[in-house]
Amino acid sequence: MAEETDTKPPEAQNGAPPAVPQIRPLAQYIRDMSFENLLAQKGIKGQVQPDVSVQVSLDAKKRDQDDQYDVIGKFTIRSKNKESEDTLFLMELEYGGVFQVSNVAKEQLHPFLLIEAPRLMFPYIRRIVSDVTHDGGFPPLNLEPIDFVALYRQGIAQRAKAQQQQPTGTA
């Protein structure tokens, strides 16, 4: 006779609801920032048709304290004149946060940190970019919302492609 086993997680077996994943921001800060107004430096005059590009990279590292992680977002924002391809301004921003994470399985921690933490930091990053571009002599740049899930998936795909292109050991 076959023996039946209960495959429910321990929390569900004893009647308690499963623990809900939680992320709590402990601190947020600007780690590094630069803004170059190249329009003024080059003396470009007349009408310009700006073309803005935004590049984002994310990184997370465990801190010495239990369940605490540093998450850093690096944003490179470049505005070019569509007609002449002259760079109007260049902004580089490294924005970080310290987060306490609980009730997240180890295999889910990486995506959780690189999706949820940037999602929490984004309104502050957006405000900084808007204020700095305005203070730099341009109309305030309001970044469009970023799909951090798609960004995470894109990063996974790029790493997988890079690993496939690496040559294997030679004999």
Write down the mean pLDDT value for the chain: 87
Is 133 a residue whose pLDDT tops 60?
yes
Which CATH number do you get for residue 47? 3.10.420.10
Residue 59 pLDDT level (bands cut at 50, 70, 90): very high
Q: What are the tokens at 32?
A: 């590094």
Residue 82 pLDDT level (bands cut at 50, 70, 90): confident
- Phi and psi at residue 152, to the nearest 5°: -65, -45
> Is 18 a domain residue?
no
Higher pLDDT residue, 40 or 137? 137
pTM across the whole model: 0.81
> Is 168 a domain residue?
no
> Is 72 a domain residue?
yes
Q: How many domains does the chain have?
A: 1
> Is 2 a domain residue?
no
> Is 164 a domain residue?
no
Checking phi first, is residue 27 left (phi over 0); if not, alpha (psi -120 to 50) or beta? beta
Q: What are the tokens at 104?
A: 């997240």
Give the domain range for residue 88.
26-159
**Beta strands of the chain (E only): which ranges?**
22-37, 50-62, 68-81, 87-102
Q: What is the pLDDT of residue 38?
A: 86
Is 128 a residue whose pLDDT tops 70?
yes
d(CA 146, CA 118): 9
> Is 80 a domain residue?
yes
> Is 169 a domain residue?
no
| Beta-bridge mates of residue 51 | 80
Q: State the residue for tokens 């995470």.
A: 152
Is 2 a residue whose pLDDT tops 50?
no
Q: What is the pLDDT of residue 16?
A: 66
> Is 137 a domain residue?
yes
d(CA 130, CA 123): 11
Higher pLDDT residue, 96 or 84? 96
